[in-house]
Amino acid sequence: MIDSQFAPPVERLVEYFQRLPGIGRKSAVRMAFFLLSMSKEDAEGFADAILKAKEKVFRCEVCQNLTDTPVCKVCGDLSRDRSTVCVVAEPSDVAAIERAKEYKGLYHVLHGVISPLEHTGPDEICIRELVTRVGQGEIKEVILATDPDTTGETTAVYISGLLKPLGVKVSRLAYGVPVGAHLEFADVVTLMRAIEGRREL
Amino acid sequence: MIDSQFAPPVERLVEYFQRLPGIGRKSAVRMAFFLLSMSKEDAEGFADAILKAKEKVFRCEVCQNLTDTPVCKVCGDLSRDRSTVCVVAEPSDVAAIERAKEYKGLYHVLHGVISPLEHTGPDEICIRELVTRVGQGEIKEVILATDPDTTGETTAVYISGLLKPLGVKVSRLAYGVPVGAHLEFADVVTLMRAIEGRREL
């Protein structure tokens, strides 16, 4: 083991930080030492925040997004358009779309995408819950907003195949050049899709 | 507040992650969601690792490095050269030097550097403990291994001024081009120092 000169409780903390996404050994060590330099109250608050988040946060019974109330804030907001559902892979995607303050419908969080390489099949993510929801008849349009990559695309195509027979409109996010980007740096596939999807002015 | 659509316990966890060094809002959100996707046991283990590290790790009474025993492993190792002390800013610096497996003396951890901009004066870091240690007479050489930047340099010069009157040899880490680097990318100050400090072959 590298760095075994750390005291065992420090080493254990480093190992936990290292499990976080995007954190390597060096950053984990920095974080562990930073934590040790925090006040006792702050460190206890951190530990408590982890426990409380894990204990009090669960999935919304309607849309599967994370919430601390039985039905999440979006699903509970009666001013929102209940006939449109935006399907995303992760709770953080809901946060991203909400930030844009443009979309007024509801969401459905899959908690993953279909990925044969990671052994995630359709049954491992919340597709069944989506089909049940759509089957209840209130939903008129489903916007598939999974990532524009291979697994996101596969998942969108798969869900689309399940929902279309239910007579619901199924759409996909528009592909194109990102706003504010330079054309010369856009990849060819994006450029091709942007031309395909051109709109009349 | 941005992203206030997160449930309060999630928001609180995000805020704690955001305090970690080098972690912005986006990474903190990713980490919080990752933690929520961990098993209950793992999340509890993480919280416990924080508490245990904070509770069981304190400063070595000799060198001020972090340890879970009254005297740390290095200070307790009687095979090490007790006449040489390497002074570093942080516990992670001890780990870095130990990794090189070259140095066989003891350490002294300052827990910071003198930095007027951050209102850290000589009394806020463990300089007094170092002077007391050197005053006990066993130490013959002190190697100042603070970072080769402005604050590290200032701290080294300040400590050197305190220790020299005690009749101890005071040295500083060698400056030069890093091994394995390309000369063309070295900054001019480093190159100048590398030439100044040239050694005969």
Residue pointed to by tokens 């010369």: A184
**3-state class (DSSP) for residue A39:** coil
Half-sphere exposure at residue A145, Cβ-oriented, CA atoms within 13 angstroms: 23
Contacts of B120 in chain A (CB under 8 A): none
Secondary structure E strands in chain A: 58-59, 66-67, 84-88, 106-109, 141-144, 169-172
DSSP state, residue A58: E
Within 86-125 of B, beta carbons closer than 8 Å to A belong to 90-92, 94-95, 98-99, 111
pLDDT at B1: 38
Whether A53 sits inside 8 A of B31 (CB atoms) is no
The rounded average pLDDT for each run of 10 residues, N- to C-terminus, in chain B (201 residues) is: 69 94 91 91 95 92 92 93 94 84 92 92 95 94 90 93 93 82 78 77 67
Rounded Cα gap, residues A116 and A49, in angstroms: 34
Residue B87 distance to chain A (closest CA, Å)? 17
Name the percent of chain A lying above pLDDT 70.
97
Select from 2.40.10.10, 3.30.460.90, 3.40.1360.10, 3.50.50.60 the CATH code of B59-200. Answer: 3.40.1360.10
CB B95 within 8 A of CB A3: yes
Rounded Cα gap, residues A127 and A162, in angstroms: 9
Strand B58-59 to strand B66-67: parallel, antiparallel, or no bridges (unpaired)? antiparallel
Residue A49 distance to chain B (closest CA, Å)? 5
Rounded Cα gap, residues A160 and A174, in angstroms: 15
Whether B7 sits inside 8 A of A31 (CB atoms) is no
pLDDT at A163: 94
Q: Is the Cβ of B1 closer than 8 Å to some Cβ of chain A?
A: no
Domain positions in chain A are: 8-56, 59-200
Which residues, other chains included, contact A26 with Cβ-Cβ below 8 Å and sequence gap of 6+? none
Residue B201 distance to chain A (closest CA, Å)? 34
How confident is residue A9, by pLDDT bands cut at 50, 70 and 90?
Answer: very high
Rounded Cα gap, residues B144 and B87, in angstroms: 5
Higher pLDDT, A188 or B85: B85
pLDDT at B23: 94
Higher pLDDT, B194 or A169: A169
**What's the CATH fold of domain A8-56?**
Helicase, Ruva Protein; domain 3 (1.10.8)
Whether A9 sits inside 8 A of B33 (CB atoms) is no
Q: Which helix (H) or strand (E) holds A76?
A: helix A73-76
Whether A30 sits inside 8 A of B22 (CB atoms) is yes
Q: Is the Cβ of B27 closer than 8 Å to some Cβ of chain A?
A: yes
Tell me: pLDDT of A2 over 80. Answer: no
Residue B169 distance to chain A (closest CA, Å)? 28
CB A57 within 8 A of CB B36: yes
CB A164 within 8 A of CB A142: no
State the DSSP string of chain B. Answer: -TTTTS-HHHHHHHHHHHHSTT--HHHHHHHHHHHHHS-HHHHHHHHHHHHHHHHH-EE-TTT--EESSSS-HHHH-TTSEEEEEEEESSHHHHHHHHHTT---EEEEE-SS--BGGGTB-GGGTTHHHHHHHHHTS---EEEE---SSHHHHHHHHHHHHHHGGGT-EEEEPPP-PPTT--GGGS-HHHHHHHHHT----
Q: Is the Cβ of B67 closer than 8 Å to some Cβ of chain A?
A: yes
pLDDT at A4: 56
Strand B105-109 to strand B169-172: parallel, antiparallel, or no bridges (unpaired)? unpaired
pLDDT at A109: 96
CB A66 within 8 A of CB B7: yes
Rounded Cα gap, residues A90 and A107, in angstroms: 11
Whether B3 sits inside 8 A of A99 (CB atoms) is yes
As for the ipTM of the complex, it is 0.73
How confident is residue A56, by pLDDT bands cut at 50, 70 and 90?
Answer: very high
What is the Cα A100 distance to its own chain's centre? Answer: 15
Rounded Cα gap, residues B176 and B186, in angstroms: 9
Rounded Cα gap, residues A141 and A134, in angstroms: 9
Tell me: pLDDT of A1 over 50. Answer: no
Question: Worst-scoring range by mean pLDDT, A60-69, A94-103, B51-60?
Answer: A94-103
Whether A68 sits inside 8 A of B8 (CB atoms) is yes
CB B162 within 8 A of CB B127: yes
How confident is residue A108, by pLDDT bands cut at 50, 70 and 90?
Answer: very high
Q: Which of B46, B66, B99 to mutate to test the interface with A (most CBs of A within 10 A)?
A: B46
How confident is residue A5, by pLDDT bands cut at 50, 70 and 90?
Answer: low
pLDDT at A101: 83
What are the tens digits of pLDDT across the range A151-164? 999 999 999 999 99
Residue A42 distance to chain B (closest CA, Å)? 9
B156 φ, ψ to 5°?
A: -65, -45
pLDDT at B83: 95
Rounded Cα gap, residues A157 and A148, in angstroms: 12
Contacts of A13 in chain B (CB under 8 A): 49-50, 52-53
Assigned token pair, B10: 């999630």
Whether A3 sits inside 8 A of B99 (CB atoms) is yes
